[in-house]
Amino acid sequence: MTILAKRALAPQMRAGEVVDEATAFYAIAAQACFDNFHGAANRMAGLLVLLAITKSRHVLDLDVQRAAAAMVTAGTEQLRALVPTRRSKHFHRHLDNAGRMLIATLDEINRTLSSSAAARDPLSPLRIAWDEIRNASKCLPGFEVVDFGHSCCALHQIAAN
């Protein structure tokens, strides 16, 4: 494995796991896609929380929705450019499923906004997308679904490291 690949994976490597070089490069390339899908899911979940609490569709008409859509678009393009290895095939499949379900979630949010009679609950595809993202994170080292790296309780740990 190259130094670059080692650096990219080292902090989150599972104990004793060795990843071949092609998979390491795949993992580095896939990080942006994973982050975009994860970020989009997070944003759409946030919107649905607000929607449920305020009980007003107007909260969906926010910059957050546009940010989520941009992340799904970027992530989908990044996914198309990825070539999975045998080791990363399982991860890739989950990521692909997540992308499709996020697109479905966005569609349902848009239909809800336009008061379409065909609008369905965006929460269902979002839940599936989230499960796919979580499953993907378990398939390869280096993909985390919660970033604790800069949280308040982490400050002393960062200093210690």
Partner 1 sequence: MSDYSIWMLEFAWVPDAPTSSLVYGRHNMGNEKLPYCYTLLKGHGRTILLDCGVNYASHGKEFMDRFNVQNWFPPKEVLAEVGCSPDDIDDVILTHAHFDHMGGLELFPNATFHIQKDELAAWVSIMALDRRFRWLLTATDTGDMLYAVQLAREGRMRGIDGNVDNLFPGIDLRIARDTHTAASQYVIIRNDGKAESEDVYTYTGDLLYRHDNMHGGNPADPVYLPVGLAFGSQTNLVFATHEILQSTGFDISRILTPHEPAMTKLYPSRTTKNGHYLIEVALADGQQSYV
End-to-end Cα spacing for the chain: 24
Of the pair 70, 82, the CB lying nearest partner 1 is at 70
- Asked whether position 109 contacts partner 1 by CB under 8 A, the answer is no
> Of the candidates 27, 72, 126, 136, which one interacts with partner 1 according to CB under 8 A?
126
What tokens appear for 33 in the block?
Answer: 């896609």
Q: Judge contact between 8 and 142, C-beta under 8 A.
A: yes
DSSP state of 140: S
The amino acid that residue 58 corresponds to is H
> Of the candidates 41, 69, 103, 109, which one interacts with partner 1 according to CB under 8 A?
41
H or E segment at 129? helix 123-139
- Asked whether position 124 contacts partner 1 by CB under 8 A, the answer is no
Chain residues that interact with partner 1, rule: CB under 8 A:
38-39, 41-43, 45-50, 52-54, 59, 62-64, 66-68, 123, 126-127, 130, 133-134, 145-157, 159
